[in-house]
């Protein structure tokens, strides 16, 4: 039963990520500018599209998601993805924060040529995602192929006027990372 439950939770988490980060309109849901969705409305919209959700399941996903991708509002009536949005309706106003001296970005070796020509760009998302530790960067990079870890000179970037923010789940965010701030630290 545990394995089936884990699989169901993973599918629900992926569904919530898709809806709350990228395509809320695919089920008729509207997010506010900070990415919040009313949980009752989310449950109804999901049901109309064949996906059964309930308060307990949503709360469990928020509490147990290993990447802490979701947050509940203080009153527990709304949910949002804490970062990773591609929908233009959402523009979370993260507070600017001074980053650690070094941040990391996990990627696949096949992206290196592009990265060392153009730097790291947000692409369809609002921000480039960076990690404070190599372990997290390695996990992120592993999703894309043969992993490589890039070291980002965040201190110098910050000193030279680049803004950094940190999402509720600890992910560091910035609009772009020019090539001159990137070095390769490991091939795994």
Tokens of 23: 């395509």
Distance of CA 97 to the CA centre of its chain: 17
pLDDT in the model for residue 186: 64
Do 1-81 and 102-184 show the same overall fold?
no
Range list of β-strands (E), 65-181? 70-72, 78-81, 102-108, 120-121, 128-130, 147-153, 165-166, 172-174, 176-177
Task: Report pLDDT for 14.
Answer: 93
Residue 5 has pLDDT above 70, yes or no: no
Q: What is the pLDDT of residue 90?
A: 87
Q: In this predicted structure, what is the pLDDT of residue 94?
A: 87
What are 111-154's pLDDT values in tens digits?
Answer: 999 999 999 998 888 899 999 999 989 988 888 788 999 999 99
* Interhelix angle 55-64/39-48, nearest 10 degrees: 110
pLDDT of residue 125: 83
Topology of domain 102-184 in CATH is ADP-ribosylation fold (3.20.170)
pLDDT given for residue 96 in this prediction:
93
Q: Hey, which bits of 134-188 come out as E strands?
A: 147-153, 165-166, 172-174, 176-177, 182-187
Confidence of residue 93 (pLDDT cuts 50, 70, 90): confident
Element (H, E) at 38: strand 37-38
Scan for tokens 């507070």, then name that residue.
Answer: 95
Mean of pLDDT values over 1-19: 81
pLDDT in tens, 83-92: 888 888 888 8
Domain boundaries, the chain: 1-81, 102-184
pLDDT at 187: 54
- CATH of 1-81 given 1.10.10.970, 1.10.3720.10, 1.10.340.30, 3.40.640.10: 1.10.10.970
C-beta of residue 10 within 8 angstroms of C-beta of residue 53: no
Residues in Cβ contact with 123 at an 8 Å cutoff, skipping those fewer than 6 apart: none
Read off the pTM.
Answer: 0.75
């Amino acid at each position: 039963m545990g394995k089936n439950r884990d699989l169901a939770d993973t599918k629900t988490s992926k569904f919530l990520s898709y809806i709350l980060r990228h395509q809320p309109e695919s089920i008729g849901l509207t997010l506010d500018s900070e990415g919040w969705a009313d949980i009752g409305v989310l449950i109804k919209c999901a049901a109309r599209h064949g996906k059964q959700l309930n308060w307990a399941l949503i709360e469990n996903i928020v509490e147990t998601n290993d990447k802490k991708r979701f947050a509940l509002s203080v009153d527990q009536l709304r949910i949002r993805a804490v970062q990773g949005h591609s929908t233009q309706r959402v523009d979370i106003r993260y507070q600017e924060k001074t980053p650690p001296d070094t941040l990391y970005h996990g990627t696949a070796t096949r992206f290196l040529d592009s990265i060392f020509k153009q730097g790291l760009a947000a692409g369809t998302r609002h921000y480039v995602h960076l990690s404070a530790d190599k372990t997290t960067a390695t996990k992120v990079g592993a999703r894309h192929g043969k992993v490589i870890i890039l070291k980002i000179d965040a201190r110098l970037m910050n000193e030279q006027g680049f803004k950094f923010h940190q999402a509720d789940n600890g992910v560091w965010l910035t609009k772009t990372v020019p090539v001159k701030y990137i070095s390769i630290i490991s091939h795994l």
